[in-house]
Every structure is written in C-alpha cells, then in structure tokens.
Amino acid sequence: MWTSGAHLEPIVQFSMRQTVKNGLARTLGMRQHLARQDAVLLTFDDGPEPTLTEQILARLKRYGARAVFFSVGYQVERAGHLLKAVWRDGHEIGNHSFAHPLDAPPTVSSAVEDLRRCQSVIEAQIGAPPKLFRPPFGAIRLRNVLAARALKLKTVLWSVDSHDWEITSARQADERGRLLAATVVPGDIVLLHEHNEHVLTVLDHLLPSLRARGIDVSRGVELL
C-alpha cells in the first residue's frame, strides 16, 4: 500500500517513488494536510463494518472527536444503518468508490460510473451526496482524478498511515498505538480502517494522547 505524505517512522519508509507521488498529489490539489496546523483529523476507510463501526463511534464520542469515514458503496448496501449512525454522530462521509477495485477502473467513464454509484447509495442512506473522495489504496491514477473532478469531489489523502490494516496481534496493536500517539502532530490527516479489530486498541492510545496534548480532534473536518 502506498503511503501518502507520511512522516511516521518506523511505520512508514520513505522512497523516491513516494516523494514523486507526494509532489504529484500537491500539484493536483489533493489534500494531504489540514489547512491550519492546530488540529488533527482522523479518517477511516473501507466501512461501514458491522462488527466495528459502532465501537469506533463510541470511542470518538468519548473524546469529542469528529472524523471522515470514507465508505465503500457495496459495504453501505450491506450495512446502511451504520452509515446513518455515523452521520447522526456528526461525522463526515466520503466516497471511497463503490467496488474498491485493486486498480482504477479501465476507463474514465467506468471510473465515473463507479463513483456515481457510490454517491447514490450513500445519498440514499443519509440524504446528501458526499463531497470528499479518497481513491482505493490512495493510488493516484488519471482516471480517478478526472472522475472525481467530473463529480466535483475533493480528493483527500493523508499525511500519516497508521498501517492498522496489517496489525495481527494485540501486542502489535499496542506498540502501533503508542507509536502513533507519540508521532502524530497538529495538521496531520491520519489514515485508519474500519475492518481490523485492532484499530480499537490504536484509538485507545491515540485519542487520549491527543486530548492530553491539547490537540483539537473535532474541527479537522471543517478545516478540509
């Protein structure tokens, strides 16, 4: 998985390829950091997830945090009630494609259709279409760029990849959470996921740390 604009070591390794992609993202106007440096924005990809979304929401509510949930269309069709819960709690919902393909759709028109289908199923649940888009895997492809622009969606990437998707044990989750808590700084957009139960441990470290450091975790959505 490509990590966009990240500074989190040793979770994230730098490379010339990554540097080039970060420069391309900036050139295309994709958001990797918040507009102001006094808040942190948490973002969650790949949901909604019946076994985890509600537990994530409970933790965010406990610390007064607002996040962006980049939802996958076919997941919304399976668990639309959870998307409504996310919306009711005051979080923003973004388009993360309908099918979450391993690569971008083969043509611009097919990419537009995929994003439009995701827009439709989300709007059917919450009464409003998303304004934000995150491409699957954060991959920058011309087809995705043009499709997002065609639907007037703002593309949001991240500055810190938690790599929570690869955690396989409670010990690893604890270590990752502590590292994130010590590394995330104001202005960061943090990538997290809804499909791995270990994200809960990560949040149990990250959220109280951000509060203790006086970092705002509620206004990041507005700063996009």
Active-site entry in 96, 193, 195, 205:
193
Question: Does the annotation mark 216 as catalytic?
Answer: no
Over the stretch 8-67, which tens digit does the pLDDT of each residue have?
A: 444 444 455 666 667 777 777 788 999 878 999 999 999 999 999 999 999 999 999 999
For 52-223, CATH number out of 3.20.20.370, 3.40.50.2000, 3.40.50.720, 3.30.1380.10 equals 3.20.20.370
Residue 25: predicted pLDDT: 73
- Mean pLDDT, the chain, rounded, equals 91
Over the stretch 195-207, which tens digit does the pLDDT of each residue have?
A: 999 999 999 999 9
Q: pTM here? A: 0.90
Model confidence band, residue 1 (pLDDT cutoffs 50, 70, 90):
very low
Please state, in angstroms and rounded to a whole number, the distance separating the CA atoms of residues 170 and 112.
Answer: 40
Query: What sign does the dihedral 122-124-127-128 (CA atoms) show?
Result: positive
Active-site entry in 45, 114, 164, 188:
45
Question: Does the annotation mark 45 as catalytic?
Answer: yes
Over the stretch 93-131, which tens digit does the pLDDT of each residue have?
A: 999 999 998 877 889 999 999 999 999 999 999 999 999
Over the stretch 139-161, which tens digit does the pLDDT of each residue have?
A: 889 999 999 999 999 999 999 99
